Amino acid sequence: MNKKYIVEVIERETKEVIKHFEFDNYRKADHVEEGLLRQSNLEKFDVVMRCE
């Protein structure tokens, strides 16, 4: 069974998922998460990575 790595951008106030990405590869998911965390326009959002 393959693991799925999920990266989500969540609005802090409403807890609504704004963007949802799924990857089979941890390195790709980590790269996307790091890129999102570096963006200055995401101050009001949380970036979360989880594994299923």
pTM, 2 dp: 0.88
CA–CA–CA angle 39, 44, 47 (5° rounding): 60
Range of the domain at 21: 5-51
- Average pLDDT along the chain: 94
Q: Is the pLDDT of residue 45 over 90?
A: yes
Closest by CA to 3, choosing from 31, 26, 35, is 26
When pLDDT is cut at 50, 70 and 90, the band that residue 1 belongs to is: low
> Could you give the number of structural domains in the chain?
1
